């Protein structure tokens, strides 16, 4: 949460920082601010979005070749002008932007108040700015030492960019728990929470690790640890095209990303699946496959949509490879003293690779001696760096806060993993394995077909956009899809929605059903088909409105449901990849028709780097 950008060089910092903030706005959009180093440091900040900040600075002095910018997702203190970043220390020596949480801020604040400091904002960041200043003035040390000493007193997470009014030729950056990337240009450096603001300027980047501190001048970079050990910067080349982070003519990133799924899935299996030889090669797992195949138990962890993908993984691993699986919310797993054995395999799933709860759960599992694997989308993010091995999804940057293509790419990876394990464990016949591999490569084409029917989704969206509640039902592989459909709807349209295993309906949720309740039933032809037909009848008997996602040509459900959305049939194990598409489209059109900000839903942020 929160996006941070910094620049030092010979160019005008303002446009670089503003454009960078626009790319990072998916991380938070409660307020925005910028500081530009001049004779005096110019600071402009306001509640609202980056566009509000642009309006706010119109006609003002925006000169400067060194600067920083911030787009906020509020943690400490309501979203307002005062709590917006940058925060400035009491005597104006330090200007600072921060992504993360200083957990012991109230204790530090009290000590600073006792020493005469007064606070203007409610933020933990102002506490840090004042702590650095206090150490700087009291200890008569330079800015770098003051920052490092202050950080030894801090408990929590941070990505920081800091300037000091008495050392105008430098920016200091530090990282613990919140991501920070340095872009290396010629006579200039860039800083950002992820590589998307940097990629249009340079492809050379350095990913900071926890406890790293960087001291940047326009032609010098010094990297060290908080405890002053000098480090050698590792410059990496990134393979990220600017076109992939634009809307490319779509009205919203979410819609673009929904339509990108055939490409994203294809890129995720391309080079890994060979239909002719019926093989799957996952290079990132090469050394751990024997251990994985012998695992007594796999524990999958994730949050939100990634957790839903994990639930699909449970069905895949148990069904195809016959390995017991448990799926856990990372936030629960990390705090409930889980029993982790050294021969357990933990699979952490995350689009961003930065989710705080997932990272903490990984650390816990590693400390317990388990082998931890990652399924991640963002190359170079923290999770791939903290896990023992893993597989990247190649979905490309996902900017819409509602996860779409990341989900189908994650499920694609889980499917490939389950098939690799099924082969090793001899739990599938060669014929069945080939059938599944072949059909996996046909999924992009099937999704293309589904995407051609957008008009059908718009019609249903128009009819039910004013509903107050929705229920989503599915069985087996399609139960996690029901959960995912409900999450998509509630997060972007603010309509309350619940996902349920269809058979559980009669144990409670059925009481909610009346003539005003749309019930989305995912009812393609699989082994539970007859059962779900009965569930649909139960809904209809109580006058509920049934919107059913069915296999092409289905006549049985068509005769009883209010609306059917027909999609081509697939093997059951692959059905989450196709059945989720109608649900994504339905949520999208409902949210648009309700006038919601689809890409930046209220209260949310793309990358949840606080617990
Ligand atoms: O980056 P991650 O996959 O770790 O993020 C996990 C969740 O925060 C994320 O899936 C969230 O639930 C999305 N907004 C869902 O659309």
Distance between Cα 596 and ligand 1 center (Å):
19
Tell me, what CATH number does 171's domain have?
3.60.20.10
Please tell me whether residues 356 and 283 are part of one structural domain. yes
Residue 610 scores a pLDDT above 80: no
Residue 606 scores a pLDDT above 80: no
Residues with CB under 6 Å of ligand 1 are 303-306, 350-352, 355, 358, 401-403, 487, 491, 607-608
Band (pLDDT 50/70/90 cuts) for residue 278 is confident
Does some domain include residue 162? yes
Please tell me whether residues 163 and 217 are part of one structural domain. yes
Q: Whose CA is nearest to atom 11 of ligand 1?
A: 304
Does some domain include residue 609? no
Kindly state the average pLDDT of the residues 457-466.
96
* pLDDT tens sequence across 192-241: 998 889 999 999 999 999 999 999 999 999 999 999 999 999 999 987 77
Question: Could you report how far apart the first and last alpha carbons of the chain are, in Å?
Answer: 10
Does some domain include residue 606? no
Tell me, what CATH number does 363's domain have?
3.40.50.10490
Does some domain include residue 434? yes
Distance between Cα 608 and ligand 1 center (Å):
8
Distance between Cα 81 and ligand 1 center (Å):
28
Task: DSSP for 148-190, please give it.
Answer: HHHHHT--EEEEEEEEETTEEEEEEEEEEBS--EEEE-SS-EE
> Which residue range(s) make up the domain with 199?
3-243
Distance between Cα 239 and ligand 1 center (Å):
23
User: Which atom belonging to ligand 1 lies closest to the Cα atom of 488?
Assistant: 16
Beta bridge partners of 66: 8
Please tell me whether residues 409 and 537 are part of one structural domain. no
Kindly state the average pLDDT of the residues 330-339.
90
Please tell me whether residues 101 and 177 are part of one structural domain. yes
Residue 266 scores a pLDDT above 80: yes
User: Which atom belonging to ligand 1 lies closest to the Cα atom of 352?
Assistant: 1
- Of all residues in the chain, the percent with pLDDT exceeding 90 is 83
Could you identify the residue written with the tokens 């293509």?
Answer: 405
Q: Indicate the residue among 202, 221, 243 that finishes a domain.
A: 243
Does some domain include residue 96? yes
* pLDDT tens sequence across 507-547: 988 888 999 999 999 999 988 899 999 999 999 999 999 99
Predicted pLDDT at 1:
72
Exactly one of 2, 164, 303, 596 is catalytic; name it.
Answer: 2
Please tell me whether residues 62 and 161 are part of one structural domain. yes
Residue 601 scores a pLDDT above 90: no
Residue 244 scores a pLDDT above 80: no
Task: Give the chain's domain count.
Answer: 3
CA dist., res. 453 & res. 458, Å (int)? 9
Please tell me whether residues 226 and 266 are part of one structural domain. no
User: Which atom belonging to ligand 1 lies closest to the Cα atom of 401?
Assistant: 14
With CA atoms as reference, report the closest residue to 488 among 578, 403, 570.
Answer: 403
**67 in helix, strand or coil?**
strand
Does some domain include residue 608? no
Q: Whose CA is nearest to atom 9 of ligand 1?
A: 304
Does some domain include residue 607? no
Q: Indicate the residue among 222, 243, 264 that finishes a domain.
A: 243
Predicted pLDDT at 189:
98
Show Cβ contacts of residue 106 under 8 Å, excluding neighbours closer than 6 positions: none
Kindly state the average pLDDT of the residues 380-402.
91
With 0.85 as the threshold, say if the pTM is over it.
no
* pLDDT tens sequence across 180-202: 999 999 999 999 998 889 999 99
Please tell me whether residues 419 and 487 are part of one structural domain. no
Please tell me whether residues 131 and 214 are part of one structural domain. yes
Kindly state the average pLDDT of the residues 454-462.
93
Please tell me whether residues 430 and 460 are part of one structural domain. no
Residue 97 scores a pLDDT above 80: yes
Distance between Cα 356 and ligand 1 center (Å):
11
Q: Indicate the residue among 399, 427, 451 that finishes a domain.
A: 451
Please tell me whether residues 430 and 313 are part of one structural domain. yes
Please tell me whether residues 411 and 500 are part of one structural domain. no
Q: Which segment of 147-151, 174-178, 435-439, 458-462 scores lowest on mean pLDDT? A: 174-178
**Cβ atoms of residues 56 and 32 within 8 Å:** no
**For 88-145, what is the HEC assignment?**
ECCCCCEEEEEEEEECCHHHHHHHHHHCCCCCCCCCHHHHHHHHHHHHHHHHCCCHHH
Active site residue 540: no
Kindly state the average pLDDT of the residues 315-330.
97
Active site residue 2: yes
Predicted pLDDT at 30:
87
- Of all residues in the chain, the percent with pLDDT exceeding 70 is 99
Does some domain include residue 87? yes
Residue 124 scores a pLDDT above 80: yes
Please tell me whether residues 441 and 467 are part of one structural domain. no
Predicted pLDDT at 87:
97
User: Which atom belonging to ligand 1 lies closest to the Cα atom of 604?
Assistant: 14
The preferred substitution site among 300, 307, 309, 351 for testing ligand 1, maximizing ligand atoms within 8 Å of CB, is: 351
């Amino acid at each position: 949460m929160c996006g941070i950008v910094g620049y030092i060089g010979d160019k005008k910092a303002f446009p670089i920082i503003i454009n960078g903030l626009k790319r990072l706005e998916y991380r938070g959009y409660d307020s925005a601010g910028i500081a530009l180093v001049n004779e005096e440091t110019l600071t402009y900040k306001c509640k609202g979005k980056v566009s509000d900040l642009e309006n706010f600075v119109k006609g003002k002095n925006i000169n400067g070749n060194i600067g920083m910018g911030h787009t906020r997702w509020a943690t400490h203190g309501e979203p307002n002008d005062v709590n917006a970043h940058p925060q400035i220390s009491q005597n104006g020596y330090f200007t600072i932007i921060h992504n993360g949480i200083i957990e012991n801020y109230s204790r530090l604040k009290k000590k600073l108040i006792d020493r005469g400091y007064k606070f203007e904002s409610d933020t933990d960041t102002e506490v840090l700015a004042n702590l650095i200043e206090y150490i700087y003035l009291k200890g008569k040390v330079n800015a770098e030492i003051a920052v490092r000493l202050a950080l030894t007193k801090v408990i929590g997470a941070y990505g920081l960019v800091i300037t000091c009014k008495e050392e105008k030729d430098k920016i200091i950056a530090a990282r613990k728990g919140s991501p920070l990337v340095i872009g290396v240009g010629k006579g200039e450096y860039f800083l950002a929470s992820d590589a998307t603001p940097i990629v249009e300027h340079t492809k050379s980047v350095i990913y900071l690790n926890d406890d790293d501190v960087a001291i940047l001048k326009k032609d010098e970079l010094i990297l060290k640890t908080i405890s002053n050990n000098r480090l050698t910067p590792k410059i990496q080349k990134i393979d990220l095209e600017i076109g992939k982070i634009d809307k490319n003519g779509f009205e919203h990133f979410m819609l673009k990303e929904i339509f990108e799924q055939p490409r994203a899935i294809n890129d995720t299996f391309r080079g890994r699946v060979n239909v002719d030889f019926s093989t799957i090669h996952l290079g990132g797992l090469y050394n751990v496959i024997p251990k994985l195949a012998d695992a007594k138990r796999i524990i999958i962890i994730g949050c939100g949509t990634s957790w839903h993908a994990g639930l699909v993984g449970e069905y895949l691993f148990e069904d195809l490879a016959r390995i017991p699986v448990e799926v856990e919310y990372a936030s629960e797993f990390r705090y409930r003293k889980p029993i982790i054995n050294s021969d357990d395999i933990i699979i952490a799933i995350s689009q961003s690779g930065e989710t705080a709860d997932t990272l903490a759960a990984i650390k816990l599992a590693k400390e317990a001696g388990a082998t931890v694997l990652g399924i991640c989308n963002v190359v170079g993010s923290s999770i791939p760096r903290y896990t023992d091995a893993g597989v990247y999804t190649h979905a490309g940057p996902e900017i819409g806060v509602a996860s779409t293509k990341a989900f189908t790419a994650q499920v694609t990876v889980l499917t490939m993993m389950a098939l690799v394990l099924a082969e090793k464990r001899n739990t599938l016949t060669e014929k069945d394995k080939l059938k599944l591999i072949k059909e996996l490569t046909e999924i992009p084409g099937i999704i293309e077909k589904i995407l051609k029917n957008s008009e059908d989704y718009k019609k249903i969206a128009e009819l039910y956009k004013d509903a107050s509640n929705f229920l989503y039902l599915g069985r087996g592989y399609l139960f996690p899809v029901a959960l995912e459909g409900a999450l998509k709807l509630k997060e972007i349209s603010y309509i309350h929605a619940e996902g349920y295993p269809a058979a559980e309906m009669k144990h409670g949720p059925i009481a909610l059903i009346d003539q005003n309740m749309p019930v989305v039933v995912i009812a393609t032809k699989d082994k539970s088909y007859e059962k779900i037909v009965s569930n649909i009848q139960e809904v209809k008997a109580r006058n509920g409105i049934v919107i059913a996602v069915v296999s092409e040509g289905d006549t049985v459900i068509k005769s009883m449901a209010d609306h059917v959305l027909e999609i081509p049939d697939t093997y059951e194990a692959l059905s989450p990849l196709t059945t989720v598409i109608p649900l994504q489209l339905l949520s999208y059109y409902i949210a648009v028709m309700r006038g919601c900000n689809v890409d930046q839903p209220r209260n949310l942020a793309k990358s949840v780097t606080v617990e």
